[in-house]
Structure 1
Amino acid sequence: MKDIDWSPWLIRMSQGDEEAFRTVYEATRNHAYGLIYYLSPRKQDAGDIMSEVYIELLRSADKYRPEQPFTAWFNGLIVRQVRNWKRKGWRLFRIEEKLRGSKAESLDLESEARLSAVGDRMELLPLLRTLPYKAKEIVVLRYYQDCSLEEIAGILNIPLGTVKSRHHHALKQLRRRYEEKHGGKERNGYVY
């Protein structure tokens, strides 16, 4: 990948010019794929990560400064997207581990185990999008940001009882949506 003056192309790209995007994509795709392939934790994720890289390139094209080499800037963007991808996978793993480890302290073990099964199959995100905003924020803060229920109460400036209630109802809604999607089938020893 040559370090030419990419500024005009990136400016046009940030203004929605599809031709400029195609030009930048064609000039950088082999470089991007190679770097992603070597950095990604699972090689089969390289294509998905590449999509994330180009989405982020579209979002941040206007942040490129011509005084910096484009290749270095673009490599930084790629590395950040690979890290983000790894974090997403790690979060799902942590959800599963947290739910397994919290069995003794959980009052609603059945719901959390079902949530774990959902997370195991990478189906949490589409189901999460169907939740009402207040339920979604509780689940995201609890399982993606690793906040305690007490911390969530402080962040949202609501009583702890309200957080517990929303958490319980969010898990219940996720379970119901999962059951609707999978027709009550048995998964990981649990009947849904």
Structure 2
Amino acid sequence: MTASAPALPAFSPPGPLSLSQALDCIVAGVQRKLAVVPTDETPIDDIVARCKQGDRAAFRVLFQRHRSDVARLVFRMLGPKADLEDIIQEVFLQVFRSLGDFRGEARFTTWLHRLTVNVVLMHRRAARSRPNFTDEVPAEAEAHTAHPDDDAIRRERIRAFYAVLDRLPEKKRTVFILHEIEGLSPTEVAEAVDAPVLTVRTRLFYARRELIQLLRQEPTLASLADVMLRPGSADLAAGEVRESTP
């Protein structure tokens, strides 16, 4: 953290400055210039304003400050996919291109959530038009894993949960992830998906109900249906999804 500039004398005596006073003025001027460089403690409104002016240092700070949040949301919306990093980079490319449209009418994090959701949904729609190559472990590879460790079991549990979650209709799936796993309030979800709060609550109700039915159809996940009856516990059903987020 940059130290505050030393206070100048309350008044300047007549005549030339002393050496000490001159040095104080020089140090204060240097520190004022250094303070212009954005840091992790710079308010987000200032960071955004400087990004709009083409300040690359400010955009670097914005990226470093929000990358983990974007990565977490992308992971929770897509599950353990191989191209997560590419999507994260695409999100920030869109941030760079669209930041001029941000008017501050909503919080920056809300705007970023909405943009991230849109990028992920575009990715999912594009993926449907491509051949589907699964990332399941080949049978011969499984044969060499007679006693999988806890991490392997946990990863498989998460993969299986997301495979079930992926069967929900897109709009229901999105609000479910944002509310139950990402932890946004219904109002925040409504802002992120640009829908009325009542619509979001309705989608959440049906998403939970449909997911419970789908879980009960899967032998390895059927016991999690009871967990899903408790709102806010979807992360447990996913095998501690939050702790598994990059």
Query: Which band: TM-score by shorter chain?
Result: 0.3 to 0.5
Compare CA radii of gyration and give the structure with the larger one. 2
> What TM-score, normalized to structure 1?
0.43
